[in-house]
Structure 1
């Protein structure tokens, strides 16, 4: 349900039911009604007060940026054989076109997100789009393998923000009770569109060559940039700790007419203000604080666990993404080059299942547990949704390894389904990581999302280099068994986290003051 109209909100007045400020427990339900968390202000410029259509347009645009970023930085697998053939005698070095982007996506998060934290989300988003366009032109016009690799590395710096900045923008314009499905819509749009592009990429390259593969997405990114200048408004808004927990302002503060707060008159929201490049007053002196909070995030057990959970599932996906084309194009399957795009199109089917099951399902689960807890919500109520993707990923991962090692005994469907199931499992780990981290530490969402997104990029880079040696040593089946066992262990840790999470947050509050209003 959309609650952007401030005159119809249900706001918590009894702070005694809100729980300890450090344990993440807030009152989500009262008398069967949903409490809006964070509490929206009366300011028309509050992003929570955007009309529903503006929120959807913004969500679609950041999803479109994330889609092209993912396809450009990580979607070369289906066309790599053609790109590699352009550099005869340099095949070994050409693999850097595939492996280095994940490293530079992680670095991009570490460079850009501190500026999103101190200067606002909008300027960093627009700058990332411009850099993505410029790097796309660079790659299209590159005349050597070294130049091509350098262009893709710069492109990946711009693409990295799609992992942390985009979901942060989405969660900042929506309330707690709707974040699960809105983040799911973000992931759904991003990956369904990417699945379509995976299919047509092989045909584009066959017809136009790989250089116009870059050209197509560069033109598309230019169109997204123009629309973003108009519609992607600043999502950062200063809120008190009480507002972040859904607690009401004093009565004197909410008695004014719409557009006022405690008698204070607010300026109306204007397009000219929305399209300013920078809305937030820069606080560059706070950048060291941001990096300090990133380091603190690595030392908080639940955040570090989310990093490892995401990294483990991403590792399985990277392994399969790096090997599925070789397996399917070889005997006995002998897939044609153009057919590889259809293999990755299975991700569309994953998203069709993912959206209702893990998106809307996540929000239904938290309401179910909140009702059983007297209307009080805990971030741990997000964790049960990991069960289904974890089981699917583990079972299908083992099947993938067996089929890859003994293709004559297995249908090609085992490889195709196994590969796409690993993607579904990663989506599950991703939505749990994003929503649980944001709900647990709302005032530290930016640095803690960087911990998860940048950290898993570094893990992916390391795993991409370890893939071939692991296959030579353990075989496809042995390698997959090792990786899915690791995934299973990290998924099972969700059980103690479900019960111990509130204590860990209280520890984090005392140790590093995560509830201090720093953003």
Structure 2
């Protein structure tokens, strides 16, 4: 932990640093025999904590007294909302890849090359931040990532039979039917999760140590003004079910609409967002690119798969995604709590980036192995296993980056995630030449380059881990970044 403490300890930062850095938060404290909590000389008993084995975990952010605060909703309600949204995510994820097993048929029907066909076809995490506390988000982000991967992999499995039996057009028809059923489900069972709570409760935001302000210190009690602000929430009545169905429930942000629309592009100047854009964007884009060439690879000799056979290749992706999600989520939350306890109870968003190590090793191996096995015409089980490992490894990157960005910019999470999803431009562009690139240079060289880029992208997490807190401090003090946040 010497590296950790040298990174996050102010004594090692020679330039002026904000007194409290956005994203940094008190996450764990010490429980005395008389059940009192403290952190150093600060009595933290007044802060709300988790229960059971996590009773030393401080809730970040602190929930308000209001029954309408999503943080106060029962856990079953939160998980139900997340489940329903994740199902919708799976369908959205399946929409594009469902057509890929039919590329061979479509290329023949429209007399087009694979390359031309690829070129023409190429905010849930914010909800998780609204509903769950910092130490609960890893598992939920993994669940969301799992559903996205299940949609991508599972959709291709099903669509292979749809395309083979009733035609490629019906892949879109099936998605339309599912959306037709699911839209009313979301409307009636998923209320708005955005909520405006008192800014003092957001202990992970801003440049003030709000945990200390909330409880004072051992000598100073909370101010009378703050007590009045907190108690004012107690008179708020619980919203009725009909009220929750309203399309408009008031503004949760005072910014003009046009500024909200342009903020995602402006947020790319933040080091944390720019890193996430490249790390998540480029890494996950490879999955889309690889999925788009499966038909080209496996319908040709020596494999000679049928359309449905190409779809079945995605079973490997499905297994990799499921296993990865069940492992990455609990690991993410365990690392968050364990490293915070070792860091004197203080949580830093950079702790999330430790997961990238798994993506570096497994992901790099999977891309190199996929290309090599195809080049030497290994039996189909070889490249299929490597294809599954791609989903297993990249799933850890998804959890790491989305968790990191959520914790760094929770108040601007929708705009931050919109910014990194501009990576679709990259995957769209790659689809224009990936097929001809493989045909010209062979899969070994192509996937060696892809694997090399993947390894390089993963290695950028090291400087981000070391200098991440300094970047957050810097962006909280420099005026241009504050103008973007207020823009």
Smaller-chain TM-score bracket: 0.7 to 0.9
Confirm or deny that 1:64 pairs with 2:34: no
Equivalents in 2 of 1:369, 1:478: separation in Å?
Answer: 40
Kindly tell me: are residues 314 and 98 of structure 1, through their superposed partners in 2, closer, same or farther at Cα, counting changes over 3 Å? same
Residue of structure 2 equivalent to 1:40: 63
Equivalent residue for 2:279? 309
Number of matched pairs:
430
Task: Tell me: CA distance 1:332–1:84, structure 2 relative to 1, closer, same or farther (3 Å).
Answer: closer
Match of 1:482 in 2: 449
TM-score by length of 1: 0.76
* Pairwise CA RMSD: 2.7
Indicate conservation of the 8 Å contact 1:433/1:452, yes or no: no
Q: What residue number does 1:422 align with?
A: 390
- Single out whichever of 216-225 and 199-208 deviates more from structure 2: 199-208
The question of 1:221 aligning with 2:189 is answered no
Give distance in 2, aligned partners of 1:206 and 1:437: 42
**Uncovered stretches (5+) of structure 2, i.e. residues with no partner:** 1-17, 31-54, 205-210, 216-221
Q: Which residue of 2 aligns with 1:134?
A: none
Who is 2:20 aligned against?
21
1:309-367: CA deviations, max 9, x gaps? Answer: 12321343233222222222222222222112221122221122212321110010011
> Aligned in 2, Cα 1:59/1:99: closer, same or farther, shift over 3 Å?
farther
Secondary structure, counterpart of 1:238 in structure 2:
coil
Instruction: Show the counterpart of 2:242.
Output: 272
Cα distance in 1 for residues equivalent to 2:124 and 2:120: 22
Paired with 1:99 and 1:424, the residues of 2 have a C-alpha distance of 27
Could you list the per-position Cα deviations for residues 12-46 of structure 1 after superposition, in whole angstroms to 9, with x for gaps in the alignment?
xxxxxxx9433522100112611111111111111
Q: Is 1:432 matched up with 2:390? A: no
> How far 1:173 moved relative to its partner?
0.9
Q: 1:235 aligns with which of 165, 187, 193?
A: 193
The alpha carbon displacement at 1:379 in A equals 0.3
SS at match of 1:334: coil
Within 1, Cα distance between the matches of 2:278 and 2:318?
26
CA contact (8 A) 2:353 2:401 kept: no
Is residue 2:154 matched to residue 1:189? no
Q: 2:348 aligns with which of 378, 393, 397?
A: 378
Distance 1:378 1:186 in 2: 23
Q: Which moved more, 1:292-301 or 1:434-443?
A: 292-301
Deviations 1:445-498 (A, max 9, x none): 1211111112x1111112111313433553221121112111111211211211
Q: Distance in 1 between matches of 2:157 and 2:439?
A: 30
* 1:31-180 matched pairs, under 5 angstroms: 31=30, 33-87=56-110, 89=111, 91-92=112-113, 98-102=118-122, 165-180=123-138
1:332 has 2:355 as partner: no
Change (3 A) 1:307 1:194: closer
Q: Which has the higher helix share?
A: 1
Deviation string, structure 1 residues 92-123 (Cα, Å, up to 9, x no partner): 4x866644454xxxxxxxxxxxxxxxxxxxxx
CA distance in 1, matches of 2:141, 2:233: 36
What is the aligned partner in structure 2 of residue 155 from structure 1? Answer: none
Q: Is the 8 A contact 1:383 1:498 kept in 2?
A: yes
1:54-112: per-residue Cα shift (whole Å, max 9, x none)?
A: 2122111211111111111333112333344443x3x24x866644454xxxxxxxxxx
Query: Is 1:510 matched with 2:477?
Result: yes
Match for residue 354 of structure 1 among 324, 329, 336? 324
1:354–1:424 Cα contact (<8 Å) kept = yes
Change (3 A) 1:95 1:496: closer
Q: What secondary structure does 2:157 align onto?
A: helix
> Structure 1 pair 253/269, CA: closer, same or farther in 2 (3 Å)?
farther
User: In terms of mean alpha carbon deviation, does 357-366 or 417-426 score higher?
Assistant: 417-426
Distance in 2 between the 1:332 and 1:264 partners?
70
With 55-64 and 261-270 compared, the bigger mean Cα shift is at 261-270
Check conservation: 1:441, 1:515, Cα contact below 8 A. Answer: no
Q: Quick one: structure 1 residues 68 and 78, their matched pair in 2 at CA, closer, same or farther if it must change by over 3 Å?
A: same
Alignment counterpart, residue 461 of structure 1, candidates 421, 428, 443: 428
- Which residue is equivalent to 2:462? 495
Give the distance between the partners of 1:231 and 1:217, measured in 2 at CA: 21
Distance 1:167 1:357 in 2: 19
Find the residue that maps to 2:432 and give its secondary structure.
Answer: helix
Determine which structure has more spread, i.e. the larger CA radius of gyration: 2
The answer to whether the 8 A contact 2:64-2:233 is kept is: no
Question: What are the ranges of 5 or more consecutive residues in structure 1 without an aligned counterpart?
Answer: 1-18, 103-164
Task: Give the deviation of 1:292 after TM superposition.
Answer: 5.0
Q: C-alpha displacement at 1:181, in angstroms?
A: 0.7
> Partners of 2:151 and 2:190 in 1: how far apart?
20
Q: 1:452 to 1:79 in 2, by over 3 A?
A: same
**1:275-314 paired onto structure 2 within 5 Å:** 275-281=245-251, 286-291=256-261, 293-314=263-284
What is the distance in 2 between the residues matched to 1:285 and 1:494? 33
Counterpart of 2:203 in structure 1 is: 245
Given the alignment of the two structures, is residue 400 of structure 1 paired with residue 370 of structure 2, yes or no?
yes
The superposition leaves residues 386-423 of structure 1 with CA deviations (integer Å, 9 ceiling, x where unpaired) of: 1112211111211111122221xx22122212222222
Equivalent residues of 1:318, 1:463 under 8 A apart = no
Give 1:115's aligned residue. Answer: none
For the 8 Å contact 1:54–1:231, the answer to whether it is kept is: no
CA distance in 2, matches of 1:74, 1:507: 41
Alignment correspondent of 1:147: none
CA 1:380/1:206 → structure 2, altered by over 3 Å: closer, same or farther? same
